[in-house]
Amino acid sequence: MVAARRKEMRAKFVIVSGSASQKLAMATAQRLGAEIGQCSVTRFPDTEVNVQLNEPVRERRVFIVQSSCPPVDQHIMEVLAIADACRRAAASSITWIAPYFGYARSDKRRGGRTPIMGRLVADFAERAGIDHLIALDLHSQQVEGFFHIPVENLSAVPAIADALKSHLEPESVIVSPDTGRVKMASAYASRMGCPVAVLHKERLNGRKTAVSRIVGEVRARPCVIIDDMISTGGTINNAVEALIRVGAAGNFIVAASHGVFTPEARKNLNHPAIRKIIVTDSIPVSSDDWPQVKIVSLAPILAGAIRRSIGGESMTDP
């Protein structure tokens, strides 16, 4: 009876992915006892995207698992193409699961004659037929307001906190690299029973910032620096240097939901005081030649979100 109900549930939905998050989509489907949907994403010689659904989606709920990671525009266009194909093929609903949502940093105008790219992506997604967004640790919660469809902003903090516990030392302090991540730092701290320290920064020019003061006791204590994303690694490097200057113990752990890791990131993170870097697989990262990096899978979180969505359950209730 239970097996029959699970089979019936799987028949009502399908998980598909573009080229950005195929491994994560497959791991998520496996946790649900389902197979990944048959969807071909190819490129014409001039790089235009070509999408073909190779199985019916009529009256089925479609979950598109795709991060808008580099190359960001290419991967967003794949999501829009898949959504449009599903809409035209009479899918009953289309949910975009964005483990990493690009352009979330573009949540307001940076000056005159500039776009708000987060809003533009939201408009494109809705016009393509997406009627539900599930994201993880959006860089700016303001992005939720750009959508007229339901938005679920889930958190990878519980999964990363579990991974951190085995590396935690006595007297460790959770450090927020700026005031914008205090809420996230507090979430880590409450789960791990650690105090919180906050770095305050001042902008030196258009490209550089410096730590002006540190709130919290870090002297002679191991520090866990947390953030929602690591892009260039410059913020983390500056934080490590500032903490060392005030006497923090010289062995740091860095944890972030999204390892964007631009080309200069490895140089900035190759600091002798950083012994471990923990990120999720919201963006494909290879740790084969980077032993400091530990990758936490988001598949359990995404599978749980899909299961709750299908069952009409709340995403936030325990």
Q: What is the pLDDT of residues 185-231, one digit of tens each?
A: 999 999 999 999 999 987 665 456 678 899 999 999 999 999 999 99
H or E element at residue 25? helix 22-31
Classify domain 157-296 at the CATH topology level.
Answer: Rossmann fold (3.40.50)
Question: What's the CATH code, domain 2-155+299-311?
Answer: 3.40.50.2020
Model pLDDT, residue 250? 84
Catalytic pick from 201, 208, 267, 294?
201
pLDDT at res. 211: 84
Which pTM was predicted?
Answer: 0.93
Per-residue confidence (pLDDT) for residue 10, from 0 to 100? 58
Quick one: pLDDT at residue 18?
Answer: 96
108 part of the active site:
no
Q: Give pLDDT, residue 206.
A: 47
Phi/psi for 227 (5° steps) reads -160, 165
Domain ranges of the chain: 2-155+299-311, 157-296
10 vs 23, 85, 271, CA distance in Å? 19, 20, 47
Model confidence pLDDT, tens digit, residues 26-39: 999 999 999 999 99
Averaged pLDDT of the chain: 93
**Backbone phi, psi, residue 99, to 5°:** -55, -35
Selection from 64, 76, 80, 62 nearest residue 13 by Cα: 62
Low-confidence ranges of the chain (pLDDT < 70): 1-10, 203-209, 317-318
Kindly report, residue by residue over 88-112, the tens digit of the pLDDT.
999 999 999 999 999 999 999 988 8
Same topology for domains 2-155+299-311 and 157-296, yes or no? Answer: yes
Rounded Cα distance between 119 and 128, Å, is: 14
Rounded Cα–Cα distance for residues 118 and 248 (Å) = 38
Angle (CA) 296 146 297, round 5°: 5
For residues 96 and 79, the answer to whether their CB atoms sit within 8 Å is yes
Chain Cα centroid distance, residue 300: 14
